């Protein structure tokens, strides 16, 4: 700090050196914040019409997201996956982020039979109730 100030004094008016230390502090703090908060959510990447609900609340750490379309197809990470692979994908995601909870985005016309089977498949991995994604107040 004092060395920097000394350097600036010696440089006269020729080349004004700016003390970068405070900016570096801020940048590092921002960097650490973004590293810590980044959760690398794999979105299903498919447009579904969610059911409306008035009791909607935030899904706590719901970052493993499966989507079930109106035709009963399961989507994860922008790809359609068969039911048999859903468990392995869920297991891998849970291993990567042990604190993450599961979210299912179900289309209003999605058959509950598919939903039920998917839930049965990932049930052993869940340590919180499933969060069924809904629209807020519609």
SS3 19: coil
Write the CA distances from 11 to 1, 20, 106, integer angstroms. Answer: 16, 16, 66
- Among candidate residues 110, 102, 117, the one with its CA nearest the CA of residue 69: 110
Q: Of the candidates 1, 18, 57, 95, which one interacts with other proteins according to CB under 8 A?
A: 57
Q: From the list 81, 86, 100, 132, which residue makes contact with other proteins (rule: CB under 8 A)?
A: 132
Per CB under 8 A, 3 contacts other proteins: yes
Nearest approach, Cβ of residue 77 and other proteins (Å):
13
Enumerate binding residues for other proteins (CB under 8 A): 3-4, 6-7, 10-11, 14-15, 17, 20, 24, 27-28, 30-31, 34-35, 37-41, 43, 51-59, 62-63, 65, 68, 103, 105-113, 115-116, 119-120, 123, 126, 128-134, 136
């Amino acid at each position: 700090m004092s060395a920097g100030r000394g350097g600036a004094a010696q440089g006269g008016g020729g080349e004004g050196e700016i003390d970068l230390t405070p900016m570096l502090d801020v940048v590092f703090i921002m960097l650490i914040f973004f590293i810590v908060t980044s959760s690398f959510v794999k979105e299903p990447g498919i447009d579904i019409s969610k059911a409306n609900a008035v009791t909607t609340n935030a899904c706590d750490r719901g970052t493993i997201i499966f989507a079930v379309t109106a035709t009963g197809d399961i989507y994860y990470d922008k790809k359609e996956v068969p039911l048999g692979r859903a468990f392995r994908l869920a297991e891998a995601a849970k291993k990567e982020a042990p604190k993450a909870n599961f979210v299912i985005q179900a289309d209003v016309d999605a058959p509950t039979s598919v939903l039920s089977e998917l839930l049965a498949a990932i049930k052993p991995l869940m340590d919180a109730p499933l969060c069924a994604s809904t629209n807020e107040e519609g």
